[in-house]
Amino acid sequence: MDQSDKLRLLQSDWYSPRRLHDSPTRYDFPGDRFLPNRSLMDLDRAHSLLTNKTTDFKSSKCNEVYQQKLIESQSLNSEGKRIMVFRGSSKSSTKSIRFVDELRQEMAAISDNKSKQAPYRSIPKAEMIVLDAPGLMDDYYVNIMSWGKNNVLAVGLGPTVYLWNSVDQRTHKLFHVREEDNWPTSITWSEEARTLAVGYTCSNLQLWDAESSKLIRSLQGHSGRIAATAWNGHILTSGSRDKSIINHDIRARNHLASCIKKHSDEVCGLKWSNEGDRLASGGSEKQLYIWEASKMSSSKFLHRFTDHCAAVKALAWCPYQHNVLASGGGWNDRCIRIWNTQKGICIHSIETKAQISGLEWNRHHKEILSSHGYSTGEDQNKLCLWKYPSMTKVGEFGNHEPRIINLCQSPDGVTVVSAVADESLRFWDVFGPPTTGTSMASDLQGLFSSRNSLIR
């Protein structure tokens, strides 16, 4: 036997199926490992064994167990269709699979019913705390409250600015204005909450160091009261009754970076986008402007919206869609409008039947909260929670007797505080993650032992 014959015989033994080695018949040519050579099979006999149910074939090559397995693998299911089941599973396993699918559908239906029957969280029925705020101005156009990242609430009460620390509940008087009729009309914390910007009735604009309670700098440029201020990094933007918007670069000695005069009445609303690339400004003349940060020195606006029918004070940029802005109109408008500032279109408008004094987005759920003043009906002086983007009302709460002047949100995005014309500050635990079974308690709830306390 030559070398090639030995190699051929070795390959034949190596690749032949195991049952060929056990068979008494020997063949000189191999079969494929996965698809055996059909010449080795007796196909007629195999077909007869599978289809003939009356004749009992006795064969040493096909035992009864193997024959039964072949019959079961070719059986039909309840729908009369042949099925391919991995590893020769019987028809009963098909029923179990269908049973699992039915069980999953039933569980999904139960879950849907539970979600429809019980809301994912409850709307607060009462304030978690009320602070006395004597001297708070009953003026729709002012913005005299700001909650910084240092967890300190700054509020202007008449001629005095107070700092209230929500952690230790201590109240500190930052300063008192001695001049008559020159009260703070705008208060805004810087982004790092180290500096407090304060605008006044008589066009003053000051920067205060909250830790040392010292005046850092006075910024000039306006000739009327400053009702709106907004920070964008080292840029402080102010809006005035003199119809102008000024960008102050607090790093520079000559702080006047740019001045815009497009509004035809008092600028009462200012808000920078979360990315700092766009500014929204609202005026008493019912107009809303969108400005690009890189083009403000040219006084060219990106968009001008004239859909509102009253002063546009309440402004809020969406935290999860950077091009979306919410705006609220005054007494003659009473509408919340949602804008796509990229396309320059209004994507939603909701009639609230009440003056809108503040808007705050929920950072934990897709919702927005609105505060209200005068109304045409019974919906006045309330807080309303709206689902976004459908803008369907989730609920309303807070039966304030007089109107709400301002609204702002805590740094953790859980609590909001409403400044009310009855000289009170009311804290509401309305935002936050969903609760399961127990009501959610924010950091503030564990700190207050009484329902009422004085801010001074």
Alpha helices in 80-198 (DSSP H): 91-117
Q: Is the model's pLDDT at 113 over the cut of 90?
A: no
Split at pLDDT 50, 70, 90, the class of 446 is very low
Residue of higher predicted confidence among 427 and 80: 427
Distance of alpha carbon 423 from alpha carbon 447, whole angstroms: 22
Per residue in 121-165, pLDDT (tens digit) is 678 888 999 999 999 999 999 999 999 999 999 999 999 999 999
> What structural domains and CATH numbers belong to the chain?
129-428 (2.130.10.10)
Contact 101, 109 (CB under 8 A): no
Split at pLDDT 50, 70, 90, the class of 98 is low
State the CB neighbour count (10 A cutoff) for residue 76: 10
Q: Is the model's pLDDT at 442 over the cut of 80?
A: no
Per residue in 220-277, pLDDT (tens digit) is 999 999 999 999 999 999 999 999 999 999 999 999 999 999 999 999 999 999 999 9
Question: Both tokens of residue 371?
Answer: 């505060």
Q: What are phi and psi of 99, to 5 degrees?
A: -65, -40
What is the rounded average pLDDT of the residues 368-391? Answer: 90
Report pLDDT for 192. 94
Report pLDDT for 53. 55
Q: Which three-class secondary structure state does DSSP give residue 165?
A: strand
Instruction: Give the chain's length.
Output: 456
**Checking DSSP bridges between strand 205-209 and strand 214-219, what pairing results, if any?**
antiparallel
Which amino acid, residue 168?
Answer: D
Which amino acid, residue 328?
Answer: G
Edge-to-edge strands, sheet with 267-272: 267-272, 278-283, 288-292, 303-305
Instruction: Report the predicted TM-score, pTM, of the whole model to 2 decimal places.
Output: 0.71
State the CB neighbour count (10 A cutoff) for residue 353: 15
> Cα dist. 341→263, 272, 279, 323, 362 in Å?
19, 13, 10, 5, 20
Q: What is the mean pLDDT of the chain?
A: 82
Contact 346, 356 (CB under 8 A): no
Per residue in 73-84, pLDDT (tens digit) is 555 444 444 444
The CA-based dihedral angle spanning residues 58, 60, 65, 70, taken in that order and rounded to the nearest 10 degrees = -80
Report pLDDT for 366. 95
Report pLDDT for 392. 95
Structure-token match 């015989």, residue found: 9
> Cα dist. 421→183, 235, 402, 426, 456 in Å?
16, 31, 6, 11, 17
Taking the mean position of all CA atoms in its chain, how far away is CA 411? 15
Q: Is the model's pLDDT at 103 over the cut of 90?
A: no
Per residue in 303-355, pLDDT (tens digit) is 999 999 999 999 999 999 999 999 999 999 999 999 999 999 999 999 999 99
The CB-side HSE value for 394 (13 A sphere, CA atoms) comes to: 24
Question: Both tokens of residue 4?
Answer: 């090639």
Report pLDDT for 336. 98
**Cα angle, residue 343 at apex, residues 341 and 345 outer, rounded to 5°:** 75
> Which of 206, 212, 280 shows the shortest CA–CA distance to 248?
206
**DSSP per residue over 303-343, as a string?**
EEE---SS-EEEEEE-SS-TTEEEEEE-TTT-EEEEEETTT
List of long-range contacts for 28-36, beta carbons under 8 Å, 24+ apart = none
- Give bridge partners of residue 189 from the DSSP assignment: 196
Q: What are phi and psi of 413, to 5 degrees?
A: 70, 20
Q: Burial, 72: exposed, middle or buried (Cβ in 10 Å; 0-12, 13-18, 19+)?
A: middle
Three-state secondary structure string covering 248-276: EECCCCCCEEEEECCCCCCEEEEEECCCC
> Cα dist. 308→283, 381, 383 in Å?
10, 20, 21
Distance of alpha carbon 198 from alpha carbon 205, whole angstroms: 6
Distance of alpha carbon 80 from alpha carbon 69, whole angstroms: 19
Distance of alpha carbon 226 from alpha carbon 243, whole angstroms: 10
Question: Both tokens of residue 247?
Answer: 């960008």
Q: Burial, 349: exposed, middle or buried (Cβ in 10 Å; 0-12, 13-18, 19+)?
A: middle
Q: Is the model's pLDDT at 89 over the cut of 90?
A: no
